C-alpha cells in the first residue's frame, strides 16, 4: 500500500512538472498560481464562448506557427476550453514549443476577445520575444518582455488587416489612451487604432490581475507605476506595471516587422539609447543594460 501511494505521488510529481514552463521553476503561468476555477456554465462570465475561444487561437496560431518555425520550434497550442483554470502556460519539450490556453481564463468576466488574444501573444512571446530572458539566458523571455512583445509585435501583426476603427468604436476608450495613440501615430489612422485596441486589450488583462487581487488599486492609463528597479525583474511585474508595459508597447514607433532583439535589448524595440522617449519598457520592471 505504501509503495503504491508513493509510486502515485512520484508519478504525479513528475507529471505536474512541465519540462519547462512560463517561469524557470515551472510553477507559474500568465498570472501567479491561483485558486480561481471557472467551469463551463458558470455565472457572471465573459462573452467569450467556445467558438470565439477557438477563433482567437486559430487566428494567432495561424499567423505565428510559420514564424515560430523560423526559430526552430513547432508551435503547438493546447486548447483546454473545458478546464476552469484561470491561467495560461508556455513550455518547451525539445522542438515542440507549447502554449496551453485554459477556458477558465477566457471565461473570467474581465476578459475580452482582444484580451484573450493578448494572452495567446504573451505565451508565444515567451518563446520568441527575445531579451531579457529568465535568468539572462533561459529559453523563455521573461514576463515583462512577453508582455512587451504582445503589444509591440504580436497583436499588431494579427490585427494589421482588420477594421480596427470599427472595433474601437464599440469600446469606451479612456482619453489618456486615445490622446497618446493619436500623438504616437499622427499620420496613420490604422496604426493609431491598433494602438488604441492594443491598449484596451492590456486594460482587459490588467483588470484580471486586479480581480485576482494582487492589487487593490484599479490599473489606469494615467497612473503609471513610478517605481524603478535596481535590476531587471524576471517574474510577473505588479498590475499597474504590466498595464504600463502594454500601453508603452502599443505606443512604440518601431514596426512589428522589425524583429525584436533576440540577443540584444535594443533591436526592433523602443529604447532610450536609440533616441526614443515613448514606448519604452517601463522602469518598474526593466533596467536597461545599454544607456
Ligand atoms: Zn508569462
List, in order, residues 6 or more apart from 167 with CB less than 8 Å away.
114, 193, 197
CA of 22 to the centre of ligand 1 (A): 5
The residue among 141 and 214 whose pLDDT is bigger is: 141
The residue among 171 and 215 whose pLDDT is bigger is: 171
Q: d(Cα 47, Cα 38) in Å, to the nearest integer? A: 13
Instruction: Report in angstroms the alpha-carbon separations of 247 from 84, 121, 223, 240, 276.
Output: 28, 15, 12, 10, 15
Q: Is residue 2 part of a domain?
A: no
CA of 122 to the centre of ligand 1 (A): 6
Task: Please give the torsion angle defined by the CA atoms of residues 232, 233, 234 and 237, in that order, rounded to the nearest 10 degrees.
Answer: -140
CA of 2 to the centre of ligand 1 (A): 38
CA of 236 to the centre of ligand 1 (A): 7
CA of 42 to the centre of ligand 1 (A): 26
Res 3: pLDDT: 31
Q: Is residue 16 part of a domain?
A: no
CA of 182 to the centre of ligand 1 (A): 29
CA of 197 to the centre of ligand 1 (A): 21
Lowest-confidence segment of 29-33, 238-242, 284-288 by average pLDDT: 29-33
CA of 29 to the centre of ligand 1 (A): 5
* Structural domain total, the chain: 1
Q: Is residue 282 part of a domain?
A: no
Dihedral sign (CA 120, 113, 238, 152): positive
Q: d(Cα 254, Cα 269) in Å, to the nearest integer? A: 6
Q: Is residue 3 part of a domain?
A: no
Q: Is residue 226 part of a domain?
A: yes
CA of 171 to the centre of ligand 1 (A): 26
pLDDT in tens, 92-131: 999 999 999 999 999 999 999 999 999 999 999 999 999 9
CA of 235 to the centre of ligand 1 (A): 8
Q: Is residue 14 part of a domain?
A: no
CA of 265 to the centre of ligand 1 (A): 18
CA of 31 to the centre of ligand 1 (A): 7
Percent of the chain with pLDDT over 90: 84
Q: Is residue 291 part of a domain?
A: no
Mean pLDDT, residues 187-191 taken together: 97
Q: Is residue 90 part of a domain?
A: yes
pTM of the predicted protein model: 0.91
Q: Domain limits at 71?
A: 21-274
CA of 101 to the centre of ligand 1 (A): 12
pLDDT in tens, 197-230: 999 999 999 999 999 876 668 999 999 999 999 9
CA of 187 to the centre of ligand 1 (A): 34
List, in order, residues 6 or more apart from 46 with CB less than 8 Å away.
106, 107, 108, 109, 110, 111, 112
CA of 119 to the centre of ligand 1 (A): 8
For residue 99, say if its preceding peptide bond is cis, omega within 30 degrees of 0.
no
CA of 3 to the centre of ligand 1 (A): 37
Amino acid at each position: 500500500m505504501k509503495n503504491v501511494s508513493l509510486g502515485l505521488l512520484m508519478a504525479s510529481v513528475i507529471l505536474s512538472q512541465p519540462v519547462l514552463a512560463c517561469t524557470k521553476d515551472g510553477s507559474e503561468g500568465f498570472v501567479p498560481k491561483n485558486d480561481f476555477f471557472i467551469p463551463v456554465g458558470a455565472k457572471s462570465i465573459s462573452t467569450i464562448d467556445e467558438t470565439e475561444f477557438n477563433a482567437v487561437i486559430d487566428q494567432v496560431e495561424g499567423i505565428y506557427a510559420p514564424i515560430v518555425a523560423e526559430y526552430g520550434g513547432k508551435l503547438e497550442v493546447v486548447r483546454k476550453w473545458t478546464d476552469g483554470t484561470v491561467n495560461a502556460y508556455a513550455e518547451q519539450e525539445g522542438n515542440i514549443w507549447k502554449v496551453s490556453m485554459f477556458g477558465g481564463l477566457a471565461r473570467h468576466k474581465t476578459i475580452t476577445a482582444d484580451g484573450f488574444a493578448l494572452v495567446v501573444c504573451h505565451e508565444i512571446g515567451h518563446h520568441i520575444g527575445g531579451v531579457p530572458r529568465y535568468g539572462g539566458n533561459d529559453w523563455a523571455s521573461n514576463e515583462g518582455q512577453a508582455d512587451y512583445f504582445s503589444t509591440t509585435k504580436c497583436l499588431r501583426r494579427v490585427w494589421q488587416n482588420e477594421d480596427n476603427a470599427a472595433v474601437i468604436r464599440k469600446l469606451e476608450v479612456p482619453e489618456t489612451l486615445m490622446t497618446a495613440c493619436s500623438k504616437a501615430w499622427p499620420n496613420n489612422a490604422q496604426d493609431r487604432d491598433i494602438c488604441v485596441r492594443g491598449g484596451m486589450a492590456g486594460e482587459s488583462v490588467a483588470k484580471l490581475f486586479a480581480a485576482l487581487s494582487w492589487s487593490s488599486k484599479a490599473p489606469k492609463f494615467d497612473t503609471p507605476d513610478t517605481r524603478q528597479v535596481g535590476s531587471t525583474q524576471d517574474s510577473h511585474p505588479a498590475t499597474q506595471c504590466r498595464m504600463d508595459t502594454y500601453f508603452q508597447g502599443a505606443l512604440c514607433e518601431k514596426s512589428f516587422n522589425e524583429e525584436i532583439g533576440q540577443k540584444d535589448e535594443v533591436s526592433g524595440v523602443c529604447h532610450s539609447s536609440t533616441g526614443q522617449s515613448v514606448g519604452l519598457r517601463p522602469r518598474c520592471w526593466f533596467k536597461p543594460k545599454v544607456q
